[in-house]
Amino acid sequence: MRDCLFLVADKNMEGMLKGFFSRDAFHHAVGCGHFDFDFRQDLVVAHGQNDPGLYTRANEFLQPYANTHRYAVVIVDAEWEGSPGKEAISQRIAKHLANAGWADDKGCAVVITPELENWVWQDSPHVCSALGFDRPFAALRTMLETEGFWQPNEAKPDRPKEAVEWVLRQSKKGRSSAVYQQLATRVTAKGCTDQAFQALRSALLRWFTPVE
**Residue of 169, 160, 12, 150 lying closest to 76 (CA atoms):** 12
| List of residues 6+ apart from 144 with CB closer than 8 A | 150, 157, 163, 166, 167
- Residues in the chain where the model's pLDDT stays below 70: 190-191, 212
Per residue in 95-151, pLDDT (tens digit) is 999 999 999 899 999 999 999 999 889 888 999 999 999 999 999 999 999 999 999
Supply φ then ψ for residue 116, to 5 degrees: -50, -35
**Residue 178 and residue 194: Cα distance in Å, rounded?**
21
At residue 86, the pLDDT reads 96
At residue 147, the pLDDT reads 95
At residue 212, the pLDDT reads 63
Of the candidate CATH numbers 1.10.3210, 3.30.1380, 2.40.50, 3.40.50, the domain formed by 2-118+188-207 belongs to 3.40.50
Domain range list for the chain: 2-118+188-207, 120-180
